[in-house]
Amino acid sequence: MLAVVCHGKKDLRLDAREDRPLAPDEVRVGIAFGGICGSDLHYYHRGAVGDFAIREPMTLGHEISGIVLETGSAVTHLRAGQKAALDPARPCLSCRHCREGRANLCANMFFLGSAGRFPHVQGGFAEHLVLRQDQIIPVPDDTDLLKLSVAEPLSVALHAVNRAGALLGKRVVITGSGPIGLLTARAARWAGAAEVVCTDVEDAPLAVARDKMGASHTVNVVADPEGLARYEADGGFFDVAFEVSGAASALQSLFKVLRRGGRIVQVGMLPPGMAPVPVNVLQSREFEFIGAFRANDEFRLAVDLIVRGEFDVTPILSGTVPLERAGEALERAGDRKQVVKLHIAIGGDRS
Ligand SMILES: [Zn+2]
Ligand SMILES: [Zn+2]
């Protein structure tokens, strides 16, 4: 079977890999679609994500959907041929964090396509993949597998919204309108936010935010550098901020537009090292500054919302590229003027 393997910076190959036997609690799946994430792009362009560098060949990909091919001897609730959502997180289920219901913080996590540990965890841009049975959520036969592959980024947005607390009637600002920022905008609206303002450095994703993802207003911080400043009046406008861009300047701008007692949720990953924040402002205005990392049970919620058609993810879909042209897909995926999220069609079949 074939896999999209990153051998280092700008060195992407379609490698043949062996299938391995299943443990009793494991399941072999055929991958249908794989969404290209910012982390995949970082591995491809720089050979690293944050502090995690590629030290051995690693299959990319963690935003996947597929079909059950074969089940281990102890698996009773799945059968070959079933369509399924595939959770890229395999937490240990026994550490203190897992037992507290915060498995995203697991001390012994295996997350698909991540160089955070060594040997690296091989990813999901592959024809076949072996997962633990609890990573597989069967869905009805008429589910669109392309939309379903958005369950993972949607779960990240839903987790960020959960970290923000109750949003009913709140004013929300989101810095960064990539796929996660756009999904967070729609998720914040779904959670009851009265007003959602999105920012970015490109017009194209802001148009999607405004027209399709529930943003009430948008600001291009390059074309209109003072655009956010109008929200500084009266000591700050927003109740909640989501920093999704991963830019230190965006983070800093939020300390001026948040009302006293407001909360900043850091979703984006900044460049390695330190980022300055105005701590005295945080102290005197009782801001809360908290992190949001991946997702927990929000993955199941994301699957439910997509399957039931209650959360339309189509505005972020920018098309598919066949597996054989994965390199071209990774080159194109970073063009934010044309692309929100590009998918690799591995096994394909949307119906
Ligand atoms: Zn992702
Ligand atoms: Zn754990």
Q: From the options 3.90.190.20, 3.30.565.10, 3.90.79.10, 3.90.180.10, give the CATH code of 2-150+313-345.
A: 3.90.180.10
Report the distance separating Cα 153 and Cα 246, nearest Å. Answer: 16
pLDDT (tens digit, 9 = 90+) per residue, 73-122? Answer: 999 999 999 999 999 999 999 999 999 999 999 999 999 999 999 999 99
Distance 247 CA to ligand 2 centre (A): 30
Lowest-pLDDT range of 192-196, 229-233, 264-268: 229-233
CA of 43, nearest ligand number? 1
In which band, very low, low, confident or very high, does the pLDDT at 51 lie, cut at 50, 70 and 90? confident
Give yes or no for residue 351 having a pLDDT over 80: no
Report the distance separating Cα 158 and Cα 295, nearest Å. Answer: 8
Say if domain 154-291 classifies as CATH 3.40.50.620: no
Report the distance separating Cα 180 and Cα 39, nearest Å. Answer: 12
Distance 48 CA to ligand 1 centre (A): 15
Distance 38 CA to ligand 1 centre (A): 6
Q: In this predicted model, which residue has the larger pLDDT, 50 or 132?
A: 132
Distance 98 CA to ligand 2 centre (A): 4
CA of 96, nearest ligand number? 2
Q: What percent of the chain has pLDDT over 70?
A: 99
Domain(s) labelled CATH 3.90.180.10 in the chain stretch across 2-150+313-345
Q: In this predicted model, which residue has the larger pLDDT, 351 or 227?
A: 227
Whether the full predicted model's pTM is greater than 0.85, yes or no, is: yes
Give yes or no for residue 344 having a pLDDT over 90: yes
179-190 vs 151-164: helix axis angle to the nearest 10? 60
Distance 104 CA to ligand 2 centre (A): 8
Distance 164 CA to ligand 2 centre (A): 23
Distance 151 CA to ligand 1 centre (A): 10
Distance 23 CA to ligand 2 centre (A): 20
Domain(s) labelled CATH 3.40.50.720 in the chain stretch across 154-291
Token couple for 334: 């970073």
Report the distance separating Cα 51 and Cα 13, nearest Å. Answer: 23
Candidates 13, 19, 93, 11; CA nearest to 46 is: 11
Give yes or no for residue 343 having a pLDDT over 50: yes
Distance 21 CA to ligand 2 centre (A): 25
Distance 331 CA to ligand 1 centre (A): 17
Q: What is the dihedral of CA 172, 174, 175, 179, to 10 degrees?
A: 180
Distance 337 CA to ligand 1 centre (A): 19
CA of 100, nearest ligand number? 2
